Amino acid sequence: MRVLLLTGGLDSTALAWMLRPELALFVDYGQLPAKGEERAARAVADAVGIELQIRRVDMAQFGHGSMSPTGLPVSTSSRAPEFWPYRNQMLVTLAAMALAASPLTEIVIGTVAGDDAHPDGTLDFVNALDRLIRLQAGVHVVAPAIGLSTLDLVRESAVPRSVLGWTFSCHTGEWACGSCRGCNKHRQVIECLAADEGAVP
Ligand SMILES: [Zn+2]
């Protein structure tokens, strides 16, 4: 079976629609937008028709960057303000732990082209993480959209607007702030899709 790490954002939502994994997993790890992400993930899983499991673990005290309540300065290893060092490997490990008793074969993550602005959004990182997780139980870590931009992924997935409407990408809180990098990217993608359809966004 495959599990998709579903955040309720555009990338993981498009993958949910395209791949229809047996299971989606949302992790509330203490990120500022957790409530908004969880609401979106629940709605997306329901709209796509896949099972969603939710786990909570408080990593707030270990956070950095704009998604973290600590307000600690962003690590120098990335210029992106939302970068939370070591988070992605933590989330993949938590997914593997949560499903260690299940017949899990793949953990699917929503890394896309452009995420390599973060050191844990590169192909090298995904390959290293795949090898690390595979060493323990043969479970693969895959990022099927790593060669695609978010816009190309959403177009290729053909995820309907009625499902995209549930997505949530803000980095800073429960409700979309409209001005963070997550909100800006979300708006740009929706505007491009509207232009595809010849409609006014
Ligand atoms: Zn925002």
3-state secondary structure of 47: helix
Range of the domain at 75: 2-196
The domain spanning residue 157 has which CATH number? 3.40.50.620
92 in a structural domain? yes
Residue 77 pLDDT: 64
Residue 78 pLDDT: 65
Between CA 49 and CA 126 the distance in angstroms is 27
Ligand 1 centroid – CA 183 distance (Å): 4
187 in a structural domain? yes
201 in a structural domain? no
87 in a structural domain? yes
Residue 137 pLDDT: 85
Q: What is the mean pLDDT of each run of 10 residues along the chain (201 residues)?
A: 98 98 98 98 98 97 91 71 92 97 97 91 97 95 97 97 96 95 95 83 50
Task: Specify whether the CB–CB gap between 31 and 150 falls below 8 A.
Answer: no
Ligand 1 centroid – CA 4 distance (Å): 23
Residue 118 pLDDT: 87
CA distances, 148 to each of 50, 59, 90, 93, 163 (Å): 24, 30, 24, 24, 20
Residue 87 pLDDT: 95
**Domains: count for the chain:** 1
Instruction: Count the Cβ atoms, other than its own, within 10 Å of residue 153.
Output: 25
CB under 5 Å of ion ligand 1: residues: 170, 177, 180, 183
170 in a structural domain? yes
Task: Specify whether the CB–CB gap between 32 and 173 falls below 8 A.
Answer: yes
